[in-house]
């Protein structure tokens, strides 16, 4: 074999190794991204649920009389 052939084989081997590790890294990133998306979906649902509860509480509070001070506690009476 010529020295150039060994260098070409070494380069090819190195490229194959790099490709393998890049594919492994992409798989790991894909798993991490899927987990983050699942977490984001849950947070969005929790936020929507909390918003619905707040709206219900706001509606219930709107139906109740306004809380005011009794006339004898008004500052101008002191």
| 64 belongs to a structural domain | no
More confident: 78 or 29: 29
Q: What is the pTM of this model?
A: 0.59
- Is-contact 36 42, C-beta < 8 A? no
User: Is 50 part of any domain?
Assistant: yes
Q: Give mean pLDDT, residues 49-77.
A: 80
The number of helices, as runs of H, and strands, as runs of E, in the chain is 1, 0
User: What pLDDT score does 4 carry?
Assistant: 62
72 is a domain residue:
no
Nearest residue to 21 via CA among 9, 31, 29, 32: 29
> Do you know the residue count of the chain?
78
Number of folded domains in the chain?
A: 1
Domain containing 27 equals 3-57
pLDDT score, position 63: 74
């Amino acid at each position: 074999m010529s020295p150039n052939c060994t260098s070409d084989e070494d380069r090819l081997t190195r490229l194959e190794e790099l490709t393998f590790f890049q594919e492994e890294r992409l798989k790991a990133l894909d798993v991490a991204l899927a987990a983050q998306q699942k977490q984001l979906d849950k947070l969005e649902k929790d936020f929507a649920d909390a918003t619905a509860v707040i709206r219900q509480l706001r509606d219930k509070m709107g139906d109740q009389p306004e809380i005011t001070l009794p006339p004898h506690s008004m500052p101008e009476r002191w």
